[in-house]
Structure 1
Amino acid sequence: MTLIDPDTGLDPLDFEVTKNLAAVPAAQREEILANPGFGTRFTDHMVDICWSVRGGWHRPRVTPYGPLSLDPASAVLHYGQEVFEGIKAYRHADGSIHTFRPDQNGRRLQRSARRLALPELPVEYFVQSLRELVTVDKDWVPSGPDQSLYLRPFMFAKEAFLGVRPAHKVGYYVIASPAGSYFTGGVDPVTIWLSEDYARAGKGGTGAAKTGGNYAASLLPQSEAYENECDQVVFLDEHRNVEELGGMNIVFVHKDGTVVTPMSPSILEGITRNSILQLAEDRGHKIEGRPVSLEEWREGVASGDIVEVFACGTAAVITPIGGLKGRDFYEEQPAGDLALSLREELTDIQYGRREDKHGWLVRLDA
C-alpha cells in the first residue's frame, strides 16, 4: 500500500531500478573523479519518467545511462518544446550527500514548462527524482575541492507528429556529471563581450524560461565573444538595459554598499543569484532588483560609484568580472572583496562547512 504524503496529497513515485551491468569500473571512475572537468563524463544511470495526456506522470524508472530512441517526427526536433534545470549534489566531510534548494529548481522547472506548454512536474517528484538517481550513483559524487555532481533534469516533447500544438506525450529525464570548475581559470576575473547586434530574449518571449532555444540563440554571440578574446557575452534589451550573460546573472556593487541586479520579465530568475542576495542582505547590504542601463553601468564604473561587478550561476557559482569589451572600447572593471567573500560563504554552506541558517540544504542519500 502506498502512503499519501499528508503535506502534498501526492503519492511518492514507485521507481523501478535497473542496474547498469556495464557500469564504469571503480578504478576508472576514480580516475575520472580526480579531474572531472565539466559536463564531459556521465554517471552510470539516469532517471526516465513518462507523461501523457491520458496517463499523467507514470512509469518512473532509473535505467542505465545511454542513448534515447526518438521518432524522427518527435515534436521537440521540429518545434523546440523543451526545458531543463541545473542543480548540484555536494559531498560533505562526513560522506553524506546534499543538494541546495531543490524546491526552487523544481518550481522554476514548473514555470519554464508552463511557458513552453509542457506539463508541470510536481516539486515533490522533482526532488524524489534527484534522490533516486543519487542513491544509485552516489559513488560518482566527488569529494575534491570545489567538486560536485552536476545534475541535469530535462523535459521534452516526444510525441511524433507534425503540427503546431502542445505535444500529448512528454519525457522527463535526469542525467548527472561529476564536475570541477566551470571556467578553466577557476575564479579568476573574466572579460565580458558586449553584444549589440544580437538579443537573448524579447518582451513576451521565453527569456524567463530555462529552455534550450535561449541558449541556442546565445551561441553565435558567444562565438563572437571568443573571437574578441572574451570569456562570456552580456546581452541588452530593446531599451539598452543590461539583461544577463549567456548563462549567468550579473550583479553590481555600489560604493554605499547597495547590491543591484538587473531584473525584468525576460531575465531568468537565478537561484544562485537569489541566495547570494539573501546572504548579502543578512550582512546588512541594501538589495535592489531593477532595470540597469548600459550607460548606468559604464558611468558608475567611471565615477567610482560601482566598485565591483560579478556574475553568478549554478555552474560557475560566482565569478568576478574584470573587463567589459565592446566594438570600440575596453573598460577594466573594479575589483572588490564582496564577490569572493559571498562565494566562500555560499560554498561553505553547500559543502556543510558553515551553518545552514536558512534551511537550504536537502540530504539526498538518506
Structure 2
Amino acid sequence: MAAFGTQFMPNMVHTTFAENAWSKPKLVSSDSVSLHPGAHVLHYASTCFEGLKAFKHDDGSVYVFRMDRNIARMQQSSSLLHLPNFPAELLEKMILSGLAEVLDDIPAPPSSMYIRPTHIGTEAAIGKAASPSNSSMLYVLFSQVGAYFSGGDVALRLLIEEDAMRCAAHMGMVKSGGNYASAMGPILRAKEQYQADQVLFCPQGDVQETGAANFILIDGNEIITKALDSSFLHGVTRDSILTIARDFGMDVQERTLSVEELLERAGKPGCEAALSGTAAVLAPVGTLIHEGKEHHIGNGEPGPTTLKLRKTLNEIQWGKREDRHGWLRKVNKT
C-alpha cells in the first residue's frame, strides 16, 4: 500500500456556506478545489480538520469509530477559529454517505479507510486579518491506509523540549494546520541533531504532547497523562485508551507530570511510555533525550502494557472484541 495518507478515493463529499446557509452536500471529484487567491484560509489560516477511521469486519460489514467525538471536536475547532458553525448532523451525513460510496474499497484490518473532514474559510478578503471569514467550505476526503509504522514495532525516540510549546497556548485545543506548522521546525531540528522521531513539548517542565500525538506514561498499574486544558489537543484515541485502562482496573491519573518526575520514573524496571493518535493508535516510546543525555524508558523496548492496550483497542475497532462503550457506528449501503 502507498505511504500513509497519500492514496485518496476519487471522490469526496463537499458543501459550502454562503449567505448564512449551507448548500446541499454533493459527491464531487477529490482531485481539486476552487479557491480565490484572496481566500481567508490562504492568508489567515482559518482551517481545521479531523482524522477518524472506518474498519471492515470479518462479515464484510463496515463501522466508523467514534464519529460523534470527532464531529464534536471539529465543531469546537470551528468555533474557536470563528468559522461558520455547522450542525453535527450535516457532517455525520457527509461522512456516512461518502463511506457508503466506497464500501467495497475499504480494506481489511490492519488496514482501514482514513476519513479527513476539513473546514476552511473561503471569503476573498485580504483585509480581514482580525475578522472571521463569512463563507467557508466543508469537505470530507477518504484515503485507504495501512499500518502507520510499516516496519513493525520500534520504540520511538523523543527529544524533551522545555523552552518552547507546540503552539500558542490558547490554540492547543484546535486541530488546525497552523499548530502542526509551528511544531515542524523543532521536530526537524530534533531529527537532524539527535535522530529523534518526535519532540515532546514540556514548557517550563510541564509534560504536554508531541508535535502530532498525546503522551502517556505507564508505570506498573499507573497510567499518567496531562489533564485536559486548552493548551493541548483532546485526543479521541487518548480518551479511548484511558477508558480501556480503567476497564482493566488501572489507576488512571490525569494530572500535571513534570520532566523531573518523568525522568525519575523512566529509569524504573517495567516503566513504559507511548504516543496516542488516530494514525498510529498507540506507539511505544523507548528513549527520552534531555539536555544531550539519553534516558531509556524501562528496557528501551516496546512494553507489554502498551501492546495490550493497543491490541484491545484494535480488536474493538475490528469487531473482534465487544464494543462495551458504543464506539462503533455501522455504515449502511445507500
Match status 1:361 vs 2:328: yes
User: Counterpart of 2:234?
Assistant: 269
User: Counterpart of 1:58?
Assistant: 23
Deviation string 1:247-270 (CA, Å, 9 cap, x unpaired) is 111111123x12111123211001
**Identity across matched positions, percent:** 36
User: Counterpart of 2:115?
Assistant: 151
TM, length-normalised to structure 1: 0.86
Number of residue-to-residue matches in the alignment: 326
Contact 1:45–1:137 (8 Å) recurs in 2: no
User: Counterpart of 2:279?
Assistant: 315
User: Counterpart of 2:103?
Assistant: 138
Instruction: Give the Å deviation of 1:201.
Output: 2.5
| Partner residue of 1:160 out of 124, 142, 157 | 124
| Partner residue of 1:187 out of 153, 165, 168 | 153
Structure 1 unaligned blocks of 5 or more? 1-34
Superposition misfits of 4+ residues, deviation over 3 angstroms: none
- Determine the C-alpha separation between the residues in 2 that align with 1:274 and 1:81: 27
Structure 2 unaligned blocks of 5 or more? none
Aligned AA for 1:78? H
Alpha-carbon RMSD across the aligned residues, in angstroms, is: 1.5
- SS of the residue corresponding to residue 242 of structure 1 reads coil
- Determine the C-alpha separation between the residues in 2 that align with 1:113 and 1:291: 28
Instruction: Give the Å deviation of 1:169.
Output: 0.5
Aligned AA for 1:61? K
- Determine the C-alpha separation between the residues in 2 that align with 1:158 and 1:187: 41
- Determine the C-alpha separation between the residues in 1 that align with 2:238 and 2:247: 14
Query: Aligned ranges for residues 8-157 of structure 1 at < 5 Å?
Result: 35-52=1-18, 54-143=19-108, 145-157=109-121
Query: Greater CA deviation, 218-227 or 120-129?
Result: 120-129
User: Counterpart of 2:295?
Assistant: 331
Structure 1 pair 252–62 and aligned structure 2 pair: CA distance change class (3 A): same
Deviation string 1:20-59 (CA, Å, 9 cap, x unpaired) is xxxxxxxxxxxxxxx233011100110111112x332223
Structure 1 pair 195–185 and aligned structure 2 pair: CA distance change class (3 A): farther
Query: Aligned ranges for residues 334-349 of structure 1 at < 5 Å?
Result: 334=298, 335=301, 336-349=303-316
- Determine the C-alpha separation between the residues in 2 that align with 1:95 and 1:120: 35
Deviation string 1:167-201 (CA, Å, 9 cap, x unpaired) is 11000011111111212433321111223453212
Instruction: Give the Å deviation of 1:305.
Output: 8.1
